[in-house]
Amino acid sequence: QLLRELDWLATTGYPILVGTSRKGFLGNILANAGRDSVPCERDPSTAATVALAIAGGASVVRVHNVGHALQAARTADAIVRAS
């Protein structure tokens, strides 16, 4: 719910830090889709949440696998903030 409503939180004007990397809720989402996972297998899901966080107005993201997340972050940022 926080990721879905992050754009509203961003209206406060304060910088937003999002730390969803490999979290249990990602494991629950994957399990509900029939794909159990251990935390180290959740980097693609983390990349999805990084992109959503940036689209919602996050200023900073905290991740374990910087390489995967950096590509997702740069792509999302280029799309969302394009002039």
The first and second tokens of residue 65, run together, are: 């696998």
d(CA 39, CA 79): 28
**Per-residue pLDDT for the chain (83 aa), expressed as one digit of tens each?**
999 999 999 999 999 999 999 999 999 999 999 999 999 999 999 999 999 999 999 999 999 999 989 999 999 999 988 86
d(CA 79, CA 54): 10
Identity at 23, one-letter amino acid code:
K
d(CA 30, CA 37): 7
The first and second tokens of residue 35, run together, are: 């794909």
